[in-house]
Amino acid sequence: MKVAGLLALCASLAVAQTSAPVEGFVPSDELNKELPSWLRFSGEYRTRLEGFDGGGFKLSNQDLYLLSRLRVNLQIRPSKWFRIFAQAQDARIFWNDRVPSTPPYKNTMDLRLAYVEIGNPEGPLTVRVGRQELDFGDQRLVGTANWLNVPRNFDAVRASFHSGGYRLDAFSASIVAPQDGTFDHHIEGNNLHGLYGGLEKLIPNAVVEPYVLWRLAARQKNEDGRLASLDSKTGGVRWVGKVPAAHVDYGVEVAMQRGNIGADAASAWAGHWVAGYTFTIPYKPRAFAEYNYASGDRNPHDGRIGTFDQLYPTSHDKFGLADQVGWRNIRDLHFGVEARPKRAVTAALGVHSWWLASATDGLYSASGALIARVASGSAGTRVGDELDAQCVWAVNRQMQLGAGMGHIFPGPFLKLATQGNPYTFPYLMFGYSF
């Protein structure tokens, strides 16, 4: 098996332990000492060796490849209320056989971020204009997806207001489509507008985040496979908090969608519920239980679309480390435990069990792409299970090591809709900030 050596390396790193992180040499600090205070350089490098066995749940479909990503940052800040920020990124892939040398795996040197920010971050209002990241809440609907070698970015205008425990972000954005070998440009007519709030004093030790998101996109497929314009609104609320005396934490998010793709009406919803308990014993383990739901389409030809649109999420490891399941037409039951064997080491184990929300709809990956569908519903709803293990070691302020593995045990749906081969995803990662 091509990934056998990588599995062994993952196992060895997963048991690694260390003392408190040791401060390391930061090259950019030495450079910045010689520069005026309004000019700063920084950067980061990340490489990840990853692979899969059973791609598409098929026999003899495997790959092992190395991802490399370099970022160089420039900040110009002549005053507290004015800042210019730019980030160049070079993302590459090596040794790949099945995975294409295209985004989101490869996009050689390009300008990833470039924006102007007006306003003091310590004041009540800031405005940011230009190419930027958008991250809101738990990033289940709008996020950067930084796990990807070529993460997401937007050409956007964003205004952020905060005062007295209240905050509100208003933005208008267009997603950037990365293209290797040419300057990246946003997709004309593919826009996302939104209001995202925060109420930090409404409930003790909790924050409530109401939001409204409006997505417009051209050339989207309706139920008959024809291209049409999409116009949908997503309204929801996220509520997360803690009960310190009981060592309990919790989170809830519910989102409703209404809209249309051409003449087809869209009506969908999704929810996320989690509760955790942190034990007051060595390593401070936290055990948690989580349930996720996203509606699916019950009739593929009735002119009514019921599949939830997950928009532009940071979807990695939300429904399994292997990223073969997304927030569309799914019921996900998740149990796990997290612990810190040492101050600099975090380890986690988790189990996911999945069912389709609608047997006549399909299984969608973390990216939202359709993996398999049996429109008659004859394959049932039981998708399968996934077992995950991960470990992160913060060697020092600049350096981080990580390893993990996810393994999927196919259920009846996958065995009938695909070849039903188990899927395994291991990785080893190294990151360095400079």
Q: pLDDT, tens digit, for every residue of 298-351?
A: 998 899 999 999 999 999 999 999 999 999 999 999 999 999 998 899 999 999
Whether omega before 412 lies within 30 degrees of 0, making that bond cis, reads: no
Tokens (6 digits) for 184: 């990246």
Tokens (6 digits) for 362: 């399909």
In order along its 434 residues, the chain shows pLDDT tens digits of: 444 444 444 444 444 443 444 456 788 888 899 999 999 999 999 999 999 999 999 999 999 999 999 999 999 999 999 999 999 999 999 999 999 999 999 999 999 999 999 999 888 999 999 999 999 999 999 999 999 999 999 999 999 999 999 999 999 999 999 999 999 999 888 999 999 999 999 999 999 999 999 999 999 988 888 899 999 999 999 999 999 999 999 999 999 999 999 999 999 999 999 999 999 999 999 999 999 999 999 998 899 999 999 999 999 999 999 999 999 999 999 999 999 998 899 999 999 999 999 999 999 999 999 999 999 999 999 999 999 999 999 999 899 999 999 999 999 999 999 999 999 999 999 999 99
CATH number of the domain at 4-433, please?
2.40.160.100
Tokens (6 digits) for 197: 């709030």
Please give the C-alpha separations between residue 2 and each of 50, 264, 322, in angstroms, as whole numbers: 11, 45, 17
**23: number of Cβ within 10 Å:** 9
Question: Do the Cβ atoms of 82 and 75 come closer than 8 Å?
Answer: no
Sign, CA dihedral 223-225-227-233, equals positive
Nearest to 381 by CA among 336, 323, 335, 333: 333
Q: Compute the chain's Rg from CA coordinates.
A: 22
Tokens (6 digits) for 175: 């997603």
- pTM of the full predicted structure? 0.91
Nearest to 121 by CA among 170, 174, 153, 77: 77
Please give the C-alpha separations between residue 179 and each of 48, 135, 196, in angstroms, as whole numbers: 21, 22, 30
